[in-house]
Structure 1
């Protein structure tokens, strides 16, 4: 009788990506974190104003379970809340129940969905970086996957960032720079913003030709998909080159101590 072979997860690349990320503890806001260059942010697991490295490591493991095993979101939120409470966290008075409260369902859902979504988005992007696949499906369309009460004006963002409409639709080559430009996070795959509800639809070469979608040979050139070190641990800012780049991006109001990025109190 043969030894059972464990089947590779559908999201194996996404899981590797998550496991390779090192935590980035900080007291920075979401807006301040967005000032950090994309090349660093894509290596990091973080959440606004979370300074506890052990908590971030625990959050990373929980989110990895969501992607790897398809764990239900409700279970993940429960585990995240338990991890936050076990860390001794207490919400700032007056912020209880808001998005700034780490124990609020809204904040925990955002952490789980955004990080899991980014990992899956990366996994799908990586699969597309194949010459034959790009030849068969050279373009993709930005479409709404989930309804929102107050949806963002994506066509306006698309045009502002230099995108052109194809018969009223937001369509471009798979590796066109527009995808990173429309992203709040500077990444060429969904999610393109917090709770956006937007996703991608692949379009075959015949449909693209029929719809007269313009794309260049550069759009069809596969991008390099990096190999990741599995199960990376430790605080990212402890790396000297990373620390220097962080401070260059953030400016003189910030410093790094004990593996954490912080803003000087006098700069608040």
Structure 2
């Protein structure tokens, strides 16, 4: 099993372009084995409405264990939805036993505080810290399109969150402005840009509707001029962030399209 490393250590002092992949628990082992690149870590999504946190034999934990056996670093997502303290009390030592020390704490889809022992992710972060001290490196979500959530984000950082992964965005100025707002709020942890490599207008529209975000008219015009090769827009975004903002690490929301994402990463590597 690979050395136990925290995300904050994995991305620290990087001089070159580095990346990580988010995958869902139903990704096939064969697909993972086809990857010839070396993501710094794999983030595994959590689907409480599907597995109901019924036991420790659920899909995201099976995948986390599989990746650790393949000597990969894992960032396990955990949501407050349907989460109980009793389940967490069983889960945390299991994760320590498996050599998993990185968690990404979110509220969760269709969150209902009446079906959880935690009314928000700040409460879960505080509980995990109380139980395990500094064993876990904790990440939280950043929302570049929503200024109202920066106060809540600062609270999570003050409680011990170690890094932020942003919601996907498509224009460099959105990320730049977000960094400035976080700096004004005295948030000084790494803010990893989230990248969604969409392949079509339809995929982008679905994402924008799901996440309730908008893009500028300038971006819409740029996209309309791309009848094909829309992935060039994402490539140019990454190169812009890399060259002009000195961003080193990028997190890809792959939706298990690993081959396509790997091709994009290889293309970027050749451009740098």
TM-score normalised by structure 1 residue count: 0.30
- Higher CA-based Rg: 1
Larger RCO, structure (CA 8 Å, separation 6 or more): 1
